[in-house]
Structure 1
Amino acid sequence: MNLQMNSAPVEYEYKAGNAKCDVLILAAGFEDRAYHFLETATFADDAHCILICFDNDISENLEVTKKFIFRANDKFKSENIQKILLSRTSISNFERNIASTLATLPRVVSNIFIDVSGMPNYCICISLNAIRNYYPYVGQGVIYSSAKQYFPTYDEYHKKTDIIENSEFLPVSMATEMSEVLMLEAFSGHRSKEGISCLAIFAGYDAHRSAGVIESINPSMLLLMHGEPGDNSLNWRLDLSRQLHKKFENTRKTASEVVSTLNSFESLSKLEEYYQFLFEDYDFTIAPICSKMQTVATYLFWERYREVQLVFPLPIGYSMDRRPQGVSKTYFTNLGAKNSLFRFAK
């Protein structure tokens, strides 16, 4: 498969035979979409699987993990399955373990798939960093399955939208209130402008996490990147994101943009555009809070500009009854190899 860095996402064809990958990396997330690719796709006999299992206090976690392990053993040879534990209290161990696990795989592979559907945003960045460092000459295929229903729902939006601007209303989402801003050493960047900084937020629907990272970074300039859903029926979510974040625009110099939640290269191009104007005067920090594919764009941008800092506002926990429901479409995005020459999509 010829992997081009500027390839737009395409809908994945499950009936096209075995997935053209030598290694599949995925996480045992509790959303329906996290399980869908593993359950539906078929794989070659010699393919390998790295399954990221969560160590958390969510009561359903054990049963979810068992379901993933059972299905992985049905799809891959048992000797070709590796399991890695991910705990919020020991992320550094996860960074080391994914690197050491990759070292046990065949050094010569053609294609690696990473299914980001069940991964937290910081896990996506750590995993891509490990993969692209160990296999710098191999491209990756990013798998992303969208949900049928997201929270807040349209009914909740319709009922509350008229009072958002005049109250402290925040719609209930899967993520609970903010816990901390995670700053990983690997993505710490380089600070050189004596506190003059620009914070770019991929703004979603958890305004409390946006508020937390703005307070933590205290940027001189704020860039709000609102997500335009890939499904036109969800465009009301763009309006909701704008309304939830409007109050931040009065706190400092602010720019606002709209980028796709699905096409990573559109987000990548917009980050590049702003960076070229700002990098001489501002330190640059990015907080990916919205979509998983925007997080992929965030990582690829950092990979090119290592002086950029990535931060991850984390919630205290997650509400299982507010998780995205069902599965809509699965998308496939080609990433070029780390050591290949590439140009950003225009």
Structure 2
Amino acid sequence: MIQIKRTFFLMNSHISGTPLLRPDEKLSKVDWPDLKKIEFPSIGTSDCLLVCAGFEDRAIETLRQTCKAGRTGFSLGMVTYLPDYEENRIKELRAISEKADILTTEFVYDRAKPTGMGEELQRFTQQFDRVFIDISGMSRLLIVQTLVALISEENGQISIIYGEAEEYPPSKDTFEQNNQDDNAGPAPSYLSSGIFEIAATPELSSVSMLGEPIRLIAFPSFAHEQLTNLLQELQPTYAEFIHGVPPDPKNKWRTEAIRRRNLLTLNELRGKKDLEASTLDYRETLHKLLDIYAERSMFDRLVVAPTGSKMQAVAVGLFRAVLHDVQIVYPTPQTFTEPGRYTLGLRQLYKVDLPTEAIKACAR
């Protein structure tokens, strides 16, 4: 089916001298905006803010900074998680919104049953002029679900708000202490432990052709179980690994450390390709994904697991919002480590105003 559609594009590449571009080619030509540093988002009374009650300090900062600046006339969509962990920052988010007298609607996101949350948020947000999505406390899968649902339907302007953390555990010293021997087997988990299941929601699925080889695109992380379980479950013929490169020079060591963390799994895999992209600048990841799509979607079934940074998950969401023949899967963690092992503090808030109309035009 995919090959037939691609052949159609090749046969009808010119009408009246005007080239016909495939959706991925259109997407690659969009003028993607840079991230802008902000103190708080300028949210108006006809706008809404989506937040999520995660573990991390940065999960509450967008709402806190916005209310501190005196902007309180907007509507708030607050996502809470199941299973319910006491460490989640839901009580703090509620306290901030109640003190500012903000009209708040709550949504429950069950990690074990994630299907449909994007559509639920889309129905809520379609009444507002602008939608601000604070991804700082969101899971990677929820980021993708939200973007795909909101971009695919008639929503207004969409802006991404992202809080960059001050500290990203583990520290270099902690990692070196736990990984003195690369061949000694798995080291203690830093972020999560075990995999509940490889989640694949209907709204992010694609059609599988009989005998079509699977090409997995994944982002290695310190949670080494994610990559191991993805390979065991999917049995891909090929794999492309996008290794994240932090923007802060003091964190550059993490790229090679994550390679070491996943060394045993990576060494066992044939037919793999290693790439690198910024963990902050979503455009680098998006263009890597588009390059893979242009080269391989005609021959392979592309399956993407957004296991990298949150801004890399934004790139995956933008990618999948237009290219519906791509399958999204996610290795859902079974348990989480104590909050002290997650990111700490807030270094900087960023905003990206998505070119929503240009993105929608790519799918036409």
Give your verdict on TM over 0.5.
yes
Partner of 1:190: 207
- How big is the shift at 1:339? 5.5
1:114 and 2:146 aligned: no
SS at match of 1:92: coil
TM-score, normalised to structure 1, is 0.87
Q: Which residue identity lines up with residue 213 of structure 1 in the other structure?
A: L
SS at match of 2:192: coil
1:288 and 2:306 aligned: yes
- How big is the shift at 1:72? 1.6
Question: Bigger shift: 199-208 or 325-334?
Answer: 325-334
Picking from 18, 29, 32, the partner of 2:57 is 32
Q: How does 1:270-289 map to 2 (within 5 A)?
A: 270-289=288-307
Over the aligned positions, Cα root-mean-square deviation in angstroms equals 2.3
SS at match of 1:190: coil
1:132-180 Cα shifts (integer Å, max 9, x gaps)? 23434x331111112222222211123244412x221334212112221
4+ residue runs of structure 1 moved beyond 4 angstroms?
Answer: 338-343
Q: Which residue identity lines up with residue 284 of structure 2 in the other structure?
A: E
Contact map agreement 1:54 1:86 (CA 8 A) in 2: yes
Q: Specify whether residues 58 and 117 from structure 1 end up closer, same or farther in structure 2 by C-alpha distance, changes over 3 A only.
A: same
1:13 and 2:39 aligned: yes
Measure the CA separation in 1 of the matches of 2:42 and 2:295: 45
Measure the CA separation in 2 of the matches of 1:36 and 1:225: 29
Partner of 2:99: 74
Partner of 2:285: 267
Q: Which residue identity lines up with residue 176 of structure 2 in the other structure?
A: H
Q: How does 1:165-314 map to 2 (within 5 A)?
A: 166-192=183-209, 194-247=211-264, 248-314=266-332
1:65 and 2:82 aligned: no
1:56-86 Cα shifts (integer Å, max 9, x gaps)? 242334xx32211111233453xx3211111
Picking from 77, 80, 94, the partner of 1:50 is 77
1:130 and 2:149 aligned: yes
5+ residue gaps, structure 2, are 1-29
SS at match of 1:53: strand
Measure the CA separation in 2 of the matches of 1:43 and 1:93: 34
Partner of 2:27: none
Partner of 1:88: 111
Measure the CA separation in 1 of the matches of 2:267 and 2:31: 34
Measure the CA separation in 1 of the matches of 2:327 and 2:138: 20
1:151 and 2:169 aligned: yes
What is the aligned residue count? Answer: 328
Question: Bigger shift: 236-245 or 32-41?
Answer: 236-245
Measure the CA separation in 2 of the matches of 1:93 and 1:198: 26
Contact map agreement 2:147 2:321 (CA 8 A) in 1: no
- How big is the shift at 1:13? 3.1
- How big is the shift at 1:43? 6.1
Picking from 321, 325, 336, the partner of 2:355 is 336
Over alpha carbons, which structure has the higher Rg? Answer: 2
- How big is the shift at 1:193? 5.9
Measure the CA separation in 2 of the matches of 1:171 and 1:304: 39
1:195-226 Cα shifts (integer Å, max 9, x gaps)? 40110002211111111011111111110100
Aligned-pair identity in percent equals 22
TM-score, normalised to structure 2, is 0.83
5+ residue gaps, structure 1, are none
